[in-house]
Amino acid sequence: MNIDDLFKVPKLPPGKRKLPDNPSMEMLKKLKMDTVSQPVSASSSNGNSRKATVEEVADEDEVMEDANDFAPGGDADYFVEEDDEGRFFGSGLSSEQKEILNIFDNAGEGMQDDPDALSITSIRRMLLRFERAVNKNQDHRSKYPDDPTKFIDSEADLDSAIKGLLPLAQAPVLAYPELVRSGAVGLLIGLLSHENADIVIDVVEVIHELTDEDVGNEGADEDEDEERTPEEALKVLIEGLVENSILELLVDNLTRLNEAEESDRVGVFHIMGIFENILGFNPDLAAQLVSKTSLLPWLLKRIEAKTYDENRGYAAELLSIILQNNRPNRLEFGKCDGVEICLKVLSQYRLRDPVNADETEFMENVFDALCSALNEEAIKTLFITSEGPDLLVLMMKEKLQSRSRAIKTLDYALSGTSGTATCEAFIEALGLKTLFSALMGKGNKKQKQSITTPASEDTAHILGVISSLFSNIPSESPSRVRLLAKFVEANYEKADKLLEIREHATNRLKSAEADIEVEKKELLAAGEEVSEEEEDAWYLRRLDNGLFTLQTVDYILAWIAMEDDGIRGHLLQMLDRKNLSLKDITRTLRTFYDNVDEPDPPPSTASESERIPTQKEILAALIAALDPDV
């Protein structure tokens, strides 16, 4: 058998014309015209198999002649939408489908081509619709107070009108002044007293959105040429809200809403969000928020809840915010038994860690609130009364997540001239052993093989506590003797640790000094003078890069060298090994002295011997004791 014969293309029937490999459209049409009148072969009707004929090819061409049907799948753009190389024929859509899509595309283009979609006219129309909805609902509720079916429709319209104000946040420059000018702010805030809690929650959501700090920032670059910025517009709105007593009405709703319900719980969350937005824009309103409302007692009660949830965490954050840099609020915090409440809340973390990151943040916010309050002498007294030093010492012993925050809080509690009583209470609570154990890095499972420097933040606060102890504990008192004894025991290991920390801080400072020197040379080379502001900025950089730690360490070293001859001799020996001396310590103290900015001591009726020396006076005495040549 000849294999080639099997694969030969069969010849066309006699009398049929052979088509070229690539027939043109004109040839196909001509063939169609020639054969359209010819009858179909009889074999086509009896079902027998037959070979393809030119008549059939012509019939297929007749179908192709219709522009909507001749392409594969009926694609209307099969021969139109192809690329330069002839690939990707068409879009795969029929004419009807393409027409439908064109209608939608045209509609979308019409919306996109309208750059003033939220114009002053549309804003006024929106506010007018809102005003009418409010008035209609009030009218229906006053006429039919006992028949909800009579005012339910108007309430639904009011709900829709309130939510319709949300887009105003996208155009604050146009919308906010108009919102205040039209009186719509007063109507909106008035709805916070509405009988329907759902309406109140809608209003809270809208105000929360309108007062967000990022409001309108999407188009901030495009609005640079406008007379008013989004920040100025937000200021106008917040002032309008405060003038209409929004703070008082929001606090009233905190007790009205039932957090057992999901919607009410979200409403409470948004109320606290509004307070954060307003205080973030104008921190001075914190005093007004505490003095004119019952927010502070509500926050303290809220953080006392047995179980953790988002609102409890937010309450702790808001409490921390309102106590920052605000003395009246801190004193009010003490009057509301805030110290006792915070210590009670924190006591649960003495033996366990927070279960997740959110609860950890909650714990840190409560610690931060307590730290802020401890800047006041009255709060330190309450702290001692509530046995705060004892609790924090126990937290330090347990070495859980609360340990670092306990050390930081003790640093605040013992600092300043008003910290003397707290220092005594700390030593009585056996805090020295725990404190120096933390300094040496002992007791940590991860540090069994070697004693290393603890975390930098913990180190700074530990040094701050030791510094406060030396500043506030009276000389030759039993507490002072116990403090000095810690630096003598174990062959002066605590003094050696201070020198180790000092060396590390000095290396960090040298690197920062090199960078600052380069910047200074560049300024001088450019013919510019070094301003006082730049000098202050460089000093702050030095503090962040080791100088603060160096000053605190040298302050402690100066105290122990002055008060104990044995420690002094050991320090001189250790410093000499590194080609250093006590003069290097006094040099640091002089820089410290030159940059201490504290007011003159107030007049006191106490005798000179009883007066508490200032920080500058202590530094001057230490420098004179270490370097008599000064």
What's the pLDDT tens digit per position in 545-565? 999 999 999 999 999 999 999
Question: Which of the four pLDDT bands, split at 50, 70 and 90, describes residue 286?
Answer: very high
Q: Lowest mean pLDDT of 53-67, 333-347, 349-363, 597-611, name the range.
A: 53-67
Asked if 76 and 180 sit in the same domain, the reply is no
List all residues 6 or more positions away from 422 whose beta carbon is below 8 Å from its beta carbon. 380, 383, 384, 389, 413, 414
Question: Which of the four pLDDT bands, split at 50, 70 and 90, describes residue 246?
Answer: very high
**CA-closest candidate to residue 423, choices 393, 453, 448:** 393
Element (H, E) at 596: none
Write down which residue in 282, 300, 322 finishes a domain: 282
Provide the pLDDT for residue 26. Answer: 57
Q: 70 lies in a domain?
A: yes
User: In this structure, is the dihedral angle defined by the CA atoms of residues 84, 86, 90 and 91, taken in order, positive or negative?
Assistant: negative
CATH number, domain of 135, equals 1.25.10
Q: 143 lies in a domain?
A: yes
- φ/ψ bin of 612: left (φ > 0), alpha (ψ from -120 to 50), beta (otherwise): beta
Burial class (CB in 10 A: 0-12, 13-18, 19+), 609: exposed
pLDDT, mean of residues 410-432: 93
Provide the pLDDT for residue 464. Answer: 95
**CA-closest candidate to residue 483, choices 554, 544, 567:** 567
Overall domain count for the chain: 3
Q: Lowest mean pLDDT of 81-95, 155-169, 404-418, name the range.
A: 81-95
The tens digit of pLDDT for each residue in 109-118 reads 433 334 346 7
Q: 33 lies in a domain?
A: yes
pLDDT, mean of residues 230-254: 93
Element (H, E) at 20: none
CA distances 610 to 71, 160, 467, 604, 605, Å, are: 105, 70, 20, 10, 10
Is pLDDT above 50 for 627? yes
Asked if 263 and 151 sit in the same domain, the reply is yes
Question: Which of the four pLDDT bands, split at 50, 70 and 90, describes residue 244?
Answer: very high
Asked if 177 and 73 sit in the same domain, the reply is no
Provide the pLDDT for residue 110. Answer: 38
Asked if 121 and 266 sit in the same domain, the reply is yes
Provide the residue type at 481 as one letter.
V
Is pLDDT above 80 for 283? yes
Asked if 71 and 177 sit in the same domain, the reply is no
Asked if 123 and 266 sit in the same domain, the reply is yes
Torsion on CA atoms 352, 357, 358, 359, rounded to nearest 10: 10
Is pLDDT above 60 for 163? yes
The tens digit of pLDDT for each residue in 480-489 reads 999 999 999 9
Asked if 549 and 506 sit in the same domain, the reply is yes
What mean pLDDT is reported for the chain? 81
Q: 306 lies in a domain?
A: no
Q: Lowest mean pLDDT of 499-508, 525-534, 597-606, name the range.
A: 597-606
Asked if 129 and 276 sit in the same domain, the reply is yes
pLDDT, mean of residues 223-240: 78
**CA-closest candidate to residue 303, choices 293, 313, 288, 292:** 313
pLDDT, mean of residues 361-377: 96
Provide the pLDDT for residue 97. Answer: 63
User: 16: helix, coil or strand?
Assistant: coil
Provide the pLDDT for residue 99. Answer: 63
Provide the pLDDT for residue 530. Answer: 79
Asked if 61 and 171 sit in the same domain, the reply is no
Q: 371 lies in a domain?
A: no
Is pLDDT above 50 for 266? yes
d(CA 532, CA 284): 29
d(CA 608, CA 333): 34
Is pLDDT above 90 for 432? yes
Query: Angle, nearest 10°, between helix axes 456-472 and 478-525?
Result: 120
Query: Distance of alpha carbon 127 from its chain centroid, rounded?
Result: 33
Q: Lowest mean pLDDT of 203-207, 506-510, 606-610, name the range.
A: 606-610
Percentage of the chain surpassing pLDDT 70? 74
List all residues 6 or more positions away from 612 whose beta carbon is below 8 Å from its beta carbon. 417, 420, 601
Provide the pLDDT for residue 224. Answer: 41
Q: What range defines the domain where residue 534 resides? A: 487-596+613-626
Provide the pLDDT for residue 152. Answer: 86
Helix, strand, coil distribution of the chain in percent, nearest 5: 70, 0, 30
User: 28: helix, coil or strand?
Assistant: helix
Provide the pLDDT for residue 54. Answer: 42
Asked if 125 and 264 sit in the same domain, the reply is yes
Q: 500 lies in a domain?
A: yes
Provide the pLDDT for residue 104. Answer: 52
Six-digit token pair at 223? 């609005």
CA distances 258 to 249, 253, 255, 518, Å, are: 16, 10, 8, 62
User: 629: helix, coil or strand?
Assistant: coil
Q: 8 lies in a domain?
A: no
Asked if 75 and 123 sit in the same domain, the reply is no
Locate tokens 């009579």: which residue?
Answer: 150
pLDDT, mean of residues 615-619: 88
Torsion on CA atoms 552, 558, 559, 560, rounded to nearest 10: 110
Question: Which of the four pLDDT bands, split at 50, 70 and 90, describes residue 49?
Answer: very low
Q: 136 lies in a domain?
A: yes
pLDDT, mean of residues 524-549: 88
Asked if 140 and 204 sit in the same domain, the reply is yes
∠ CA 331-336-342 to the nearest 5 degrees?
A: 95
Locate tokens 């006082």: which residue?
Answer: 532
